[in-house]
Chain A
Amino acid sequence: MKPHSFLKNLLPAERFQLRLQATAKPGVIRELLDLLEAQRLLRDRGAAEQAVLEREAAMSTGMQDGVAIPHGKTDTVDNLVAAVGLKPEGLDFQSLDRQPARIFVLVVSPARNTPQHLRFMAEISKLLRRPSTRAALLAATAPAAALAALFDLAE
C-alpha cells in the first residue's frame, strides 16, 4: 500500500474548498459541512453540526502553525467523512498559539468508528506539520494541485 492511501481514499479532490468565504470559526465549519451535504454525505446536517460545535466548545481544535482540525462524532453518518478548506489570509480559530488559522480539516465519523477517527486525525496532523506541505497547499489554485501538494506528489 502506498503511503497515505488511507487518507487519500477519504479525501478525493472534490472535498477541497480552496477559498473559504467565512471569516469566523462557525462559518468555516458550516461552509465545510455545506460541501459534504452537497455531496450527499450527511444524513442529518443539524446533528453533524451540533457534534462538531459541541466538541469545539469543549476545547478548540486550532493547533500550532495555522492548522485546525474541527471534528465530531455522530451516528448520523455511516462512515468517516472529511473535507479540507483553505483561507490563505487566515482567521481567528482560538488556536493554542493564538495565531490565525489557514488550513482547516473537518472530520465527522460514527461513534463506533473511534479507531479510524483517531487514525485519520493523527495522520493528517502529522502530514501538516511539514512547513513545505502547508505552503504548497496554501499556494494551490486547483483542487488537483491541492491534493498533490498535500500528498507531496509531483505534478
Chain B
Amino acid sequence: MHLVLRHLWHSVRPNLRRRALYMGLLVGAASGLAAFLFLLALDGFSQFCTRTLMGISLATPAGEEFDFGLPVALHPRRWLILLLPAAGAFLSGLVTRRFAPEAAGDGMDASIRAFHEDAGKVPMRVGLVKCLGSILTVGAGGSSGREGPIAQISTGIGSSLAKLFRLSDRERRVFMLSGMAAGIGAIFRSPLGGAISAVEILYKEDFESSALVPCVVSSVTAYTVFRMLLALPGIGIPDTASMYALPALELSSHQDVLFAGALGVGCALFGRLYVKIYQGCRNRLFPALPLPEWLKPLLGGLGVGLIALFFLDVLGTGGGVIQKLLHQPLEGLAPRAQLALAASFLVLALLKMLATSLTIGSGGSGGVFGPTLVIGGLLGAAAGGLAHALLPQWQPPSLAAFVLFGMAGFFAGVASASIGAVIMVCEMTGSYTMLAPLLTICVVTILLSRNVSLYRNQVANRFTSPAYRNLMLTDLLAGVTVDSCYHRTIMPTIPENATARDLRKLLADENVPFPLTVTDRHQRPCGILTMGGIRPVYFEDADPNLFLVKDMMLPLTTCTGDESLAAALRKFDRSGYSRLPVVSATNPAELLGYLQYQDLLTAYEAELAKRRLQT
C-alpha cells in the first residue's frame, strides 16, 4: 500500500512542477497587463487632478513620464490642493463601502491575510474595487502606494485562475502569491525583487520557499509584458528604462559600508516611529472618532490637503520625489546649505509618514509599501546631507547612494523583508553597484527592528501560519474517527476485588498486556491498572494481602467510536495511558475493543500522505 502511494506521489510531482510553470506564465501575463492598465488610469487621473485642476506639476519617476496631453492650469489653485485629496478619499470610501468593504486600507496587508487565513481566496471584485478606490484616493493626491491595489488585483487573478482550474487550497495560495510577485515585479519593474518580496513579506522571520519558483516565473513574465506594453508606440517609454534614472554611481570605498550601517540605526529608529504613527491612526485615532465610517477617509484626505498647502511633495505616491532626490546636487554646496537641505528632507520624511498614516489609516485605499520607500529615500537623503556637511573629510558616498540606502534599509525594517528590498532598489534604479552597503543597512535595520511591522497580518513563521495548520497533528486527526482504526478485540480484564496475590498469579501464568482494564462486580469498566501503578506493591516488599486491584487502579478513561482521533489524543495526553478501552457510545458499560497510542501515529501518517496527494 505504501509503495503504491509513493509511486502515485512521484508520478504526480512532475505535473505539479509543470503546472507551476504554466500557471506562473498565465498569472504573470494577466498581472502585467493589469498593472499596465492600472498605471495608465492612475497616472491619467493623477495628472488631471494635479495639472489641470490644482495647477501644479508633480515630478514623476523618469520611467513613467507619460504625456496625456491634458491642459495645464496657469496658476496653482490652493483651495483645490486643500480639498481634492479629501474629495478623492471620500469618493473612494463610498465606492469601497458600496461594492467591497474589504478593499479599504492597505492592499498588501489584505493579501497577506488572505494567504494565511483564507486559503488564498481573493475575489476579483475586491481587486477591481480596490483599484478604482486607489485611483480616486491616490490620483486626487492621497499619500498612498500603487503596489497595494496592484497586489490585490494580481492576487485576485492568481486566486481566480486557481479556482477556475479547480486547484487545491495549497496551490491557490501559491498562485495567489505568484500574483503578488507579478504585480510588484511589474509595477516597480523589479522581477527578482517582486518574487523575493512576495515570498518574504508573509512572515516576520521566514520565507514561503515552496512558492519561489512560481513567483519568479510570474514576476518575470509580468515584468516583460509590462515593459512591452510601455514601449508601445504612443506610450513611448523606452524598453530599457528602469523605474528611476540614476546618476553614475560607484562604490567609492569601504566607508560606504560604514555609512550604510550607521544609517541603518537611524532607519530602525524612524521605522519604529513610522509604525507607531501609522498604527496610531489606523487602530486608535480614526476608529475612536464618533463619525460614520464613510466620512472618515474625507477627514484623512483633508489632513493631507492641509499638509500639501505647505509641502506639495507629500501628495500622491511620491515616486517623483525619489527621482528628484537622486539628482539633487549636494557636493560643492556650503556646509550650511547642506544642513538646511538635510533638515528639509527630514521634515518632509516626517510629514510623508503623517500623510500616509492619515490616508490609509482613515480607510482610504492604497498601499503603504510605496510611501515607505519614499520616506526611506528622504531619510537617506537627510543623512547624506548631514554626512557631507559634518564629515566631508571621511568622503561620504554620494547623495544618490544615501537615498538608495535609505529606501532599502527603511523598508526592510518596517516590512521585515530584507533581501527583497535590496534587490528591488537595485532593479528600480538599474544598478547593482551598491549591493554590499545595501545588504549591510538591511541587516542592521532588521536586527534593530524586532517586533516592528507595518503589516499586522504578518505571522512569525510557517509554524504559526494557519495556512500550515491543516498539516499539523491535531487538525489531521480531527477528521478521522476512532471507529476507523480501533482494535475490535476484547483484551483480558481484571475484577476490582482481585487481590494483589491473584494478580501476581495472573501475571505469572499469562502474558497479560498492560495497561489492564479493571471491571466492577457488574462487569463494567471502572479503572485502569498500569505497570507503573502496581510497582510499589511488588517491589517494596509489601504485604500482598493488604492490596486489592481496586486499591491499585487509576481512574478510568475510555473513548467511543464516534469520537475523533484528535479528541482521543487529548485523552491519551491527559491520562498518560498507552491504551484506552473503547466502549459503546450508547452503553458505556459495554467494552468493544481498544485503541493504542501507536494507532494515532499510523492514522496520522496515512492522513498526511493522503493530503499531500490531494495538494
Hey, which bits of chain A sit against chain B, CB under 8 A? 55, 58-59, 61, 63, 69, 71, 73, 96, 111-112, 114-115, 117-119, 121-123, 125-126, 129
Contact = CB atoms under 8 A, between A and B. Distances in A.
Contacts of B540: 119, 122-123, 126
B548 A114 contact: no
B551 A117 contact: yes
Interface string B530-541: 001111110011
Nearest to B543: A125
A111 B533 CA distance: 12
A59 B555 contact: no
Interface in B511-558: 532-537, 540-543, 545-548, 550-555
Most chain A CB neighbours (cut-off 10 Å) among B537, B542, B543: B543
Contact of A59 (B532, B533, B548): B548
Given A58-B497, A59-B497, A115-B536, A121 B548 contact: no
Contacts of A115: 532-533, 535-536
B575 to A, nearest CB: 10
A93 B533 CA distance: 28
A119 B536 contact: yes
A2 to B, nearest CB: 17
16 contacts: A58-B497, A58-B548, A59-B499, A111-B554, A112-B554, A114-B552, A115-B532, A115-B536, A118-B536, A118-B537, A118-B551, A119-B540, A122-B540, A122-B542, A123-B540, A126-B541
B537 A114 contact: no
Given A58-B548, A59-B497, A59-B499, A114 B553 contact: yes
Contacts of A63: 543, 545-546
Contacts of A61: 546
A105 to B, nearest CB: 10
Contact of B548 (A55, A69, A96): A55
A118 B547 contact: yes
A55 B552 contact: no
A122 B537 contact: yes
A58 B496 CA distance: 9
Contacts of B536: 115, 118-119, 122
B497 A114 contact: no
Contacts of A117: 551
Given A114-B533, A126-B540, A121 B546 contact: yes
A125 B537 CA distance: 11
A129 B496 CA distance: 27
B541 to A, nearest CB: 6
Most chain A CB neighbours (cut-off 10 Å) among B535, B536, B553: B536
Contacts of B554: 111-112, 114
A150 B424 CA distance: 82
Ranked 8 nearest A-B pairs via Cβ = A122-B542, A122-B540, A118-B536, A119-B536, A125-B543, A122-B536, A58-B497, A111-B555
Contacts of A73: 551
Contacts of A55: 548, 550-551
A111 B532 CA distance: 15
A13 B275 CA distance: 66
Contact of B542 (A96, A114, A121): A121
A58 B550 contact: yes
A126 B551 contact: no
A121 B534 CA distance: 12
Contacts of B534: 118
Most chain B CB neighbours (cut-off 10 Å) among A58, A63, A71, A119: A58
B580 to A, nearest CB: 17
Given A114-B533, A115-B535, A122-B536, 18 more contacts: A55-B548, A59-B497, A63-B545, A63-B546, A69-B546, A73-B551, A115-B533, A118-B533, A118-B536, A118-B542, A121-B546, A121-B547, A122-B537, A122-B540, A122-B546, A123-B542, A125-B543, A126-B542
A93 to B, nearest CB: 13
Contacts of B541: 122, 126
Contacts of B496: 58
Nearest to B500: A118
Nearest to A125: B543
